[in-house]
Chain A
């Protein structure tokens, strides 16, 4: 069982927007602005898409955005494209000795 809770799957049509939630506790998501989101295509390494809740690394499309409210963080992808179909993982810094906790991952299907 993962420390952070994500929906197992979400789907959307091209051009639509989707949101993936990531729920933790006050010891991780709620306690720090240190939530990251990663995109992983099959057989590939994860790629950082969002860090520190809402910041995009250079080169990441502005169609990807992040936010947080209380113990729940969210990743929103607008203007869905076929290449967005992938697994998405959230992570958070945690005050426990675990240091970083991940969500179980969400499979995004572009219909």
Chain B
């Protein structure tokens, strides 16, 4: 079945860096757009970044632009999020998600990985 498994979360100090990974299985990864979406503790969902199937189209939320970099390796069925200059407000569960089409239909979602930015 379709599965997305995130890894790489943890505790990091403000200004630090972290790289999240997402391993995909059960579908042809290279056919799909992929997104990262986050949820701060007790808060709602916030779309973070999106990458097209070939990687040539990338979007970022204004809140992370210039600090985060999304990438993918279709040969390894993997999605990545490099997060630099982390701030306390980046603390959240980060979900990897498959986008069906290019109009925001997100299905499925991974189980999420928690990123905590604190000194």
Cα A108 to Cα B61 with chains together (Å):
28
Cα A93 to Cα B111 with chains together (Å):
23
Out of B105, B110, B111, B112, name the residue touching A48 (CB < 8 Å).
B105
Q: Is the CB of A57 within 8 A of B46?
A: no
Name B50's closest neighbour in chain A (CB-CB). Answer: A99
Out of A93, A98, A100, name the residue touching B62 (CB < 8 Å).
A98
Name B60's closest neighbour in chain A (CB-CB). Answer: A97
Q: Is the CB of A48 within 8 A of B104?
A: no
Residues 5-41 of A, flagged 1 when their CB comes within 8 A of B and 0 if not, give: 0000000000000000000000000001010101000
Out of B44, B59, B105, B112, name the residue touching A52 (CB < 8 Å).
B105
Q: Restricting to A86-111, which residues have a CB under 8 Å from any CB of B?
A: 89, 91-93, 97-105
Name A50's closest neighbour in chain B (CB-CB). Answer: B105
Chain B residues, CB < 8 A from A34: 103-105
Q: Is the CB of B47 within 8 A of A102?
A: yes
Q: Restricting to A34-73, which residues have a CB under 8 Å from any CB of B?
A: 34, 36, 38, 45-48, 51-52, 57
**B35 part of interface (Cβ distance < 8 Å):** yes
Cα A109 to Cα B25 with chains together (Å):
35
Out of A46, A89, A91, A98, name the residue touching B59 (CB < 8 Å).
A98
**B12 part of interface (Cβ distance < 8 Å):** no
Out of B35, B45, B95, name the residue touching A105 (CB < 8 Å).
B45
Q: Residues of A at under 8 Å CB distance from B?
A: 2, 32, 34, 36, 38, 45-48, 51-52, 57, 89, 91-93, 97-105
